[in-house]
Structure 1
């Protein structure tokens, strides 16, 4: 079973940064419950396939060529955690910042809420 910190890292780097569909799918299976709900400004997506499709859409579109980095420490509670992040071109200032607030159930992420900083 993964630690909460490992789940946060997997969500950011092995799913939403991973361009290889096979590696991303393996990370999805070990990181999220099958009925995971992903909520971002584009909507609400339920299940592994919907989450994978949204990650691919982001990687092909607005995140193409950009790199995620942690933007501070992760915050961990008994069934909730959060990880602030920034995204931008490698070695350049970020173009966007946000935070993922997650709910943990049975050792996996069951809800991922992505909040974006204004501006």
Structure 2
């Protein structure tokens, strides 16, 4: 797997969806995603940097102190990445939510992103 796929997937989780600072998050969005990125989650499809940034900001405001952490390694191929994650309290305790992200990568940026929530393991 290309190192770029791993960096993009980790950046997606940690530098965008885990980032509380709006300026750092926006800089990461511009570096990690295509300008017309399509993000699909259970709420629908968001297109473009502004829409992704707005949803990430709203998500952060709703999470309180919860943080995203990787739930394993990045898996991928050239042009494709998959990363599982958990949403946990600051102490790293029991996951409150789990899921995974799948990305289609074109021209060294994420062009399509899919987020799927999964049952939390007990």
* TM-score normalised according to structure 1 size: 0.94
Q: Distance in 2 between matches of 1:108 and 1:77?
A: 14
C-alpha root-mean-square deviation of aligned residues, in Å?
A: 1.1
The answer on 1:75 being equivalent to 2:79 is: no
Deviations along 1:37-89, one digit per CA (max 9) or x if unpaired, are 1111111100000000000010011x221011110111111111100000011
Q: Distance in 2 between matches of 1:23 and 1:39?
A: 23
Q: Distance in 1 between matches of 2:10 and 2:77?
A: 16
Give 1:118 shift.
3.1
Q: Distance in 2 between matches of 1:14 and 1:49?
A: 16
Report how many residues are paired: 117
The answer on 1:14 being equivalent to 2:25 is: no
Alignment correspondent of 1:116: 117
Alignment correspondent of 1:33: 34
Q: Distance in 1 between matches of 2:89 and 2:103?
A: 26
Alignment correspondent of 2:57: 56
The answer on 1:44 being equivalent to 2:21 is: no
Give 1:90 shift.
1.6
State the SS of the aligned residue for 1:99. strand
State the SS of the aligned residue for 1:59. helix
Q: Distance in 2 between matches of 1:69 and 1:25?
A: 20
Listed as ranges, the gaps of 5+ residues in structure 2 are none
Listed as ranges, the gaps of 5+ residues in structure 1 are none
